[in-house]
Structure 1
Amino acid sequence: MNWRDVSHPEGGGSERYVQRIAEGLASAGLRVTLLCAAHGRAPRDETVNGVRIIRRAGRLSIYPRAMAFVRKHKPRLVVDIQNGIPFCSTLVTRAPVTNVVFHVHKEQWPIVFGPVGGRIGWWLESVVAPKVYRRVPYVTISDATGREMAGLGIDAERITLVPVGTEPIVRVATPRSESPRLITLGRLVPHKQVEHSLEILARLSDRWPDLTLSIVGEGWWEESLRAQADRLGVADRVEFTGFLDEKGKHEQLAAAWVFVCPSVKEGWGMVVIEAGGHGVPTVGYHSSGGLQESVVDGVSGVLVDDLDQMTDAVARLLEDDDARRAMGAAAERHAATFEWSASVREFAGVLARSVHGSPRAGVRAGTADLVELLERIQHGVDDPTHTLAVPLESTAADGTGADPALPREPASSGLA
């Protein structure tokens, strides 16, 4: 259960992670259903690379809808993707539950929901969720997030790090820009702090009059960002590309000199790896958490503490061609070290342990086949890699119009 999927207009790295893990499990023989919020860019029901996707309800109403779905259909295993707000499936199912947390949202709540809504959100995340999931295993994608979770009272031994894999880098013919070019990529929402990228562009304009900035992504904060570009006098050197397909996104990355990632919080930073795949180093914030692991500080990029330091770091990379190219080459090597197949195996191991560790004997009975399959995936007996090189844009609509309440045969990946 996740609040969004990769096709959602505000989908990002966490949704990509969920889809990749789900595809790997499905390719090895599990029947995998992803329940998420509906939106106008995708049908209510479809199968994508072997994963059945059911889109219902909205941004907040997906939570009670998901609880009702689990209660009605009684899946054998449940994975809750907790993007701040918990799904609380433990309250409606006796099946083993695993909870996935990409990052802790403490700093983001007041930015997105204001002081009152922020306090409610933080209470849900820091007080309610640890109690609701007090007996279940957790998955996270960075040590930094794991440490923050432990600070909320979650037992460290219940937290497993399952790192992000590398998306297949889309090779494009786009050359590096002849003039200095920055890029920021992600959802256009306040906590991504794209204003910092605009400020850096303005501060460095005297030294590099031909410096430009590409802002790739869309979101409800775009008009505010455009207004800020006007106030700073840099609107003529900023390109708001909006949403781009994979080819378009990688063309923008290939043309850039430096990737600027000023986000308040990142669970890991998949976009860093995408930039690194094109030899583009990243400058980001230490405090974002996950960038501490996706960026090798001083080698594949630079991590800083504030906007002044970020401006200085970008300036150094722009003026020192040798240092920038060396970091870009290191970023490309670093990006190649993460494999989705390894992530799927680790995740399957967590799911197997969640069944073994279920305190309800009735749940464990009759699950031998499920545990056996999960352990086969974990140990690489059923290699999930053959579907993981398929671009996420390669979707196959189910087209059957089937009632999601009816049982179905395992979905085919369409790749045999």
Structure 2
Amino acid sequence: MTLSTTSPKQRLRVLYLSWRDRENPEAGGAETFTERTSEVLTQQGHEVTIFTASFPGASPRTRHGDVRVLRRGSKFSVYLHGMLHVLRHRDDYDVVLDVQNGVPFWAPLVAGDLPVINIVHHVHREQWSAVFGPKVARLGWLLESRLAPFVYRRSRYVTVSKSTRSELEELGVDPGRVDLVYSGNDRPEDLDAYARLERTEAPTMLFLGRLVPHKHVEQAVDILASRAMSHPDLELHVVGGGYWEDAIAEHARARGVADRVHLHGFVEESRKHELLARAWVVVMPSHKEGWGLTIVEAGLHGTPAVAYEFAGGPSESIVHGRTGLLADSVSEFEDHVIRLVDDHAMRRDLGRTARLYASSFDWVRAGRRLESVIGSVLGLTDRYRDDVIDLDALIATRPEPRRTELEVVAS
């Protein structure tokens, strides 16, 4: 990997336009990226404001550490409020980070000479029809695929995976304008303590994320039903919240496996890491992910993951056959899960390598890389070349694991 040798010297005023903030009940991986990179930017001496949607019980303004948070409008009207904020306060900022979650905030239309960087985690092509009716889905895809590339034709882009950059190229975005900033990973201070936890007695799959239709959690439920004869003790733990939770519960009842599906809802960080550390395998049946933050979170605990290769980001957050398994179809996804459940040695070996790979991602590096992108857009620094995470090099240079790690991780 090659970093720019310089960094912005002056204190920059950064405006982050984000659909949600971390306190929003619907917050997900994109919001984690926004919040954690904002923290790093403030640690680097910059002033960061997150402009986002309000939600029931939310304060119109608050602070997340040193980051100022402004909330206006609903999850739909926030885009108009965001444009008005840029129009009225563009002289108060040096750069705008416009997070495109399906549709962007259209900041270039009102920013004047203020530089705008478009941050795209993934293209929402399939998700429009999964969430909305046909008319709204067609409109959303038209805005994302045709209008947004035109409005941001002079803007730099940031994305979290090479697959998303390729998808943007299909929409007409020059890949030369797209910088890659891999997501980080939150390493618990007591990570070794979690490594001493035993795996659950019964084999367990774990899903961690927002409960919305396009995450396809029902596919994990279906594995319990289809393998009921051969694996009657296999269980599924679902961690996270969302409006689709009742639908998942109903699907489990309809398939006759409700007693083996455990819906935890939102949990504390310590409980989340405990569940990740004790699970046998993490499943990500989503058909579209920008990166797959859950995959590398699980990797820290030596827990391998199964995801779809065509989902995009997981094809990079998983190194197939080394840190987890990638599937091309629903049936292959199921086969991969059962293979890991049945093969202790494979789980152990993939888990060990997954932990090493996951440890190579951190938010300080992600934040500093984003800072470098901002600096290069403002003419303050050079651009850096893409990351190359060399798993073989990581393996070659890793120290011998302690006896407790050899015995416990992914066992």
TM-score range relative to shorter protein? 0.7 to 0.9
Task: Tell me the CA shift for residue 175 of structure 1.
Answer: 2.6
Which residue of structure 2 aligns with residue 104 of structure 1?
123
Which residue of structure 2 aligns with residue 287 of structure 1?
310
- What RMSD in Å do the two structures reach over aligned CA positions? 1.7
Which residue of structure 1 aligns with residue 206 of structure 2?
183
CA contact (8 A) 2:118 2:156 kept: yes
CA contact (8 A) 1:182 1:258 kept: yes
Which residue of structure 1 aligns with residue 322 of structure 2?
299
1:89-168 to structure 2, matched below 5 A, reads 89-94=107-112, 95-168=114-187
Q: Deviations over 1:89-117 (max 9, x none)?
A: 11111201100000000010011112111
Task: Tell me the CA shift for residue 174 of structure 1.
Answer: 4.3
Identify the match of residue 51 of structure 1 among 49, 67, 71: 67
The amino acid across from 1:146 in the alignment is R
Task: Tell me the CA shift for residue 47 of structure 1.
Answer: 1.5
CA contact (8 A) 1:9 1:41 kept: no
Task: Tell me the CA shift for residue 57 of structure 1.
Answer: 1.0
Moved over 2 A (4+): 40-44, 169-175, 375-378
Which residue of structure 1 aligns with residue 7 of structure 2?
none
- Normalised TM-score (structure 2): 0.85
Which residue of structure 2 aligns with residue 384 of structure 1?
none
How many angstroms apart in 1 are the aligned matches of 2:269 and 2:23? 12
1:241 is aligned to 2:264: yes
Which range is displaced more, 329-338 or 37-46? 37-46
Identity of aligned residues (%): 43
Q: Deviations over 1:131-160 (max 9, x none)?
A: 110001000000000000011000111000
What SS is found at the alignment partner of 1:107? helix
Counterparts in 2 of 1:34 and 1:376: CA distance versus 1, 3 Å: farther
Counterparts in 2 of 1:377 and 1:293: CA distance versus 1, 3 Å: closer
1:338 is aligned to 2:361: yes
CA contact (8 A) 2:19 2:52 kept: yes
How many angstroms apart in 1 are the aligned matches of 2:339 and 2:352? 17
CA contact (8 A) 1:4 1:36 kept: yes
Which residue of structure 2 aligns with residue 18 of structure 1?
34
Which range is displaced more, 243-252 or 167-176? 167-176
Which residue of structure 2 aligns with residue 386 of structure 1?
none
How many angstroms apart in 1 are the aligned matches of 2:383 and 2:160? 19
1:170-209 to structure 2, matched below 5 A, reads 171=191, 172=194, 174-209=197-232
Which residue of structure 1 aligns with residue 348 of structure 2?
325
The amino acid across from 1:157 in the alignment is G
CA contact (8 A) 1:34 1:52 kept: yes
How many angstroms apart in 2 are the aligned matches of 1:254 and 1:355? 43
What SS is found at the alignment partner of 1:32? strand
Aligned residue pairs, count: 362
CA contact (8 A) 1:28 1:377 kept: no
Which residue of structure 2 aligns with residue 82 of structure 1?
100
Which range is displaced more, 346-355 or 105-114? 346-355
What SS is found at the alignment partner of 2:21? coil
Which range is displaced more, 166-175 or 300-309? 166-175
How many angstroms apart in 2 are the aligned matches of 1:67 and 1:135? 18
Which residue of structure 1 aligns with residue 46 of structure 2?
30
CA contact (8 A) 2:302 2:351 kept: yes
Which residue of structure 1 aligns with residue 401 of structure 2?
none
CA contact (8 A) 1:7 1:41 kept: no
How many angstroms apart in 2 are the aligned matches of 1:29 and 1:376? 19
What SS is found at the alignment partner of 2:133? helix
Task: Tell me the CA shift for residue 42 of structure 1.
Answer: 4.2
CA contact (8 A) 1:8 1:41 kept: no
The amino acid across from 1:85 in the alignment is V
How many angstroms apart in 2 are the aligned matches of 1:42 and 1:287? 37
Which residue of structure 1 aligns with residue 280 of structure 2?
257
Task: Tell me the CA shift for residue 326 of structure 1.
Answer: 0.7
How many angstroms apart in 1 are the aligned matches of 2:131 and 2:27? 16
Q: Which blocks of at least 5 consecutive residues in structure 1 are unaligned?
A: 357-370, 379-416
The amino acid across from 2:296 in the alignment is I
What SS is found at the alignment partner of 2:335? helix
The amino acid across from 1:130 in the alignment is P
Q: Deviations over 1:235-264 (max 9, x none)?
A: 001100011121121111112000010001
What SS is found at the alignment partner of 2:165? helix
Q: Deviations over 1:290-335 (max 9, x none)?
A: 0000001011100001111011111111111011111111111110
CA contact (8 A) 1:86 1:124 kept: no
How many angstroms apart in 1 are the aligned matches of 2:119 and 2:228? 42
What SS is found at the alignment partner of 1:329? helix
How many angstroms apart in 2 are the aligned matches of 1:115 and 1:62? 23
Which range is displaced more, 336-345 or 232-241? 336-345
Which residue of structure 1 aligns with residue 375 of structure 2?
352
1:228 is aligned to 2:244: no
- Normalised TM-score (structure 1): 0.84
CA contact (8 A) 2:376 2:383 kept: no
Task: Tell me the CA shift for residue 376 of structure 1.
Answer: 11
How many angstroms apart in 1 are the aligned matches of 2:383 and 2:143? 34
Q: Which blocks of at least 5 consecutive residues in structure 2 are unaligned?
A: 1-16, 385-411
